[in-house]
Amino acid sequence: MSLLVGSKIDEVDTAIAALVEQRLNCTDPVDALLTTESIDRLLDDRLQLMQAQEDH
């Protein structure tokens, strides 16, 4: 289970990094806000995965 959670955390980290890069290149404030919201959701997912990893 720990390897699976670790793998999912890595996937989330990769997605976050891509969105951060995308946000840096945003020229439209609406796109920047939507990207930031996506990053926030992924960070919430990452926290849940980390808690699940600690529980096992």
HEC profile of 1-56: CHHHHHHHHHHHHHHHHHHHHHHHCCCCHHHHHHHHHHHHHHHHHHHHHHHHHHHC
pLDDT tens per residue, range 1-56: 678 999 999 999 999 999 999 999 999 999 999 999 999 999 999 999 999 988 87
Tell me what pLDDT residue 39 has: 99
- By the 8 A CB rule, do 26 and 32 touch? yes
What's the domain range around 6? 2-55
The domain tally of the chain equals: 1
